[in-house]
Amino acid sequence: MTEPTRIALVTGASRGLGLVIAGVLARRGYSLVIGGRDRDALAAAGDELSTQAPVVPVAGDITDAAVRENLLDAARQLGGLNVLVNNASELGRVGPLMAFDVPTFGRLFPVNVGAPMVLTQMAVPLLSRRRGLIVNITSDAATAAYPGWGPYGATKAALELLTRTLAGELGEHGVSAVLVDPGDMRTRLHQEAFPGEDISDRPLPGVTAPFWTWLFDQDPDEIRGQRFAAQQEDARWLQRA
């Protein structure tokens, strides 16, 4: 009996880390649903990825309920869902908490915490049919009090707690959840945090590709609830990457 095609949904996949993750999945034979706010960049990413796998781009803001529904509808049309990667994030300008515009939390938490949770709720019925995996992208700012990074770190700390809770709650549904800290990288997200500064000393997101290659080969049950640092030398995955 032929195995069903594996399907993955990756948010924030028009460029940077999300595009790297989607590329690894495409090379491993996954059909893809990719999301992103920049319609032109997402179309270009879709064209690039479609040389390796079927791709459905869904443009729009991840905080928009209609966009989220479109993402899940696309996965259903492809046949289901094996992997959900909640990569879309918003950083905002780095600066001291005493100067932080507190109403900006009203944007950061919906993007970085609310949207991944709602997408997870929507995706679990599909993921449970394939003993699927949820990958939530975190940051070392979630666990260390870096001056200037408090608001972003707070959203990632919240996401970490929710992900660990989900890992425990979803076991009975046959769904696993993990956290991945990709490390400091040369991306537009980081450049926006340091406008006008040179961040060329940071590695490009492709440096994490060996980790993703390893991760998507794992039995989701065996890694449930774990937190990985994609750029660290870790015997759990380097020896098999």
Catalytically active residues, by annotation: 152
Query: If we measure between CA atoms, which residue out of 22, 231, 36, 63 comes closest to residue 155?
Result: 63
Residues in the chain: 241
Query: If we measure between CA atoms, which residue out of 229, 73, 212, 200 comes closest to residue 133?
Result: 212
Q: Which residues pair with 86 in a beta bridge?
A: 136
Helices 150-169 & 115-128 angle (0-180, nearest 10): 20
CB 45 within 8 A of CB 34: yes
